[in-house]
Structure 1
Amino acid sequence: MSHKIYSLLQATFAELNTQPIPVDDEFHTFDEWINEDQKLLHYIELKEYSDNGIEDNFYFEKYNVDTDQLQNEIEIAVQECFEQFQEDDDISFEEQMDVMERTEEIIFDAIKKVAEQHQLSLLVVYRENPYWMLVPTQDEQQLIQIVDAFNEAFNDDGDLNMAIY
């Protein structure tokens, strides 16, 4: 029953009202739909953390956010994190995972800080490499409804899980 997520997002994003709702229940179709006219949902390649969608986010463009400055702040924080592990040649898998998790936190903390200045909320789709989107509301109930509808529609196999960040 993925149609609930589409109607909730159309009610939340005026930009999506003119787009017909897809007929299939695949996440890649959802991704194409939500990004059809504006870049709203972004993929982060954690190993290439600067490839994170910040520079082409619809709301960051709309509010003239200095995305270069935001990327620089992320770069500095991530490099500090990496430097802690570069001294050790024998990095365990757990330590590598800790670095990836910390990188994710740095990126999302930076995005959330800017988003809140513009009354936007950050939603994250967790998987091996996460997705994120800004939502033009800070209404907790509305955000919970979006998250629940997304998880109901796309979390059948357990590898896609949206949460409020």
Structure 2
Amino acid sequence: MHKTLYQALQVAFPELKDAPLPEEQDNFESLMLWLNQHYSNLQQLQMMDYRQNGIAECHRLQQLRIDLDELSNQIDAEMRAFFDMYEESDQEIDPEPAHAYDFEFTYSVVFNNIKVFIEPYDLALLVIEQENPYWLLVPSNEELIDRIITTFNEAFGNEEPMVLIE
């Protein structure tokens, strides 16, 4: 099961084809280190500061020469509009649901903007859902995506499931 995940990831990231598999294949941190040993293939979004989103480090985005400043500016503009809406509101807001909504909104803004920017390049955005989600860009091949998601979720999905952002 774990080996199948690593094999699928080697197809998605050819530079890992000859990379030795980690000893602890069922350890998420080992997987993360393995994926990022040559380049930043797996990035993390810090939900408390959406600007810490891994976009500038993402090797695939760099390879495609995507305008990272434009992508970041688009995210900033949407987030600023959201925060301005909060400040203009005269209503008392219960902090717990508002905090959860902030996270949901941040997740949506960051990942939807990445998706828009990668669409012309036949790539798919996979997200590992956790408090501070991880994300990676893989070729938009339905069979490959299904194999990565299925094998990842069999190995790690109880704690941090992987999903395709559509």
Is this a same-fold pair by TM over 0.5?
Answer: yes
- Helix, strand or coil at the partner of 1:48: coil
User: If the length of structure 1 is used for normalisation, what is the TM-score?
Assistant: 0.93
Letter in 2 for 1:107: V
- 1:153 is matched with which residue? 155
Query: When the two structures are aligned, how many residues end up with a matched partner?
Result: 162
- 1:7 is matched with which residue? 7
In 2, distance between residues paired with 1:112 and 1:93?
A: 29
Q: CA deviation at 1:89?
A: 5.4
In 1, distance between residues paired with 2:129 and 2:150?
A: 14
User: If the length of structure 2 is used for normalisation, what is the TM-score?
Assistant: 0.92
In 1, distance between residues paired with 2:53 and 2:92?
A: 28
For structure 2, which runs of at least 5 residues remain unmatched after alignment?
none
Match of 2:141 among 128, 139, 142: 139
Residues 56-135 of structure 1: matches in 2 within 5 Å? 56-86=57-87, 87=89, 88=91, 90-135=93-138
RMSD (CA atoms): 1.3
- Helix, strand or coil at the partner of 1:8: helix
- Helix, strand or coil at the partner of 1:123: strand
- 1:17 is matched with which residue? 17
In 2, distance between residues paired with 1:99 and 1:80?
A: 12
In 1, distance between residues paired with 2:13 and 2:102?
A: 34
Q: CA deviation at 1:90?
A: 3.9
Task: Provide Cα deviations, 1:71-111, integer angstroms capped at 9, x if missing partner.
Answer: 01001101111222233554431121111101110000010
In 2, distance between residues paired with 1:72 and 1:89?
A: 30
In 2, distance between residues paired with 1:82 and 1:140?
A: 37
Q: CA deviation at 1:47?
A: 1.0
- The percentage of counterpart residues that share the same residue type is 30
Task: Provide Cα deviations, 1:104-150, integer angstroms capped at 9, x if missing partner.
Answer: 10000010111111111100000111010000x21212211110011
For structure 1, which runs of at least 5 residues remain unmatched after alignment?
none
Q: CA deviation at 1:61?
A: 0.7
In 2, distance between residues paired with 1:113 and 1:75?
A: 15
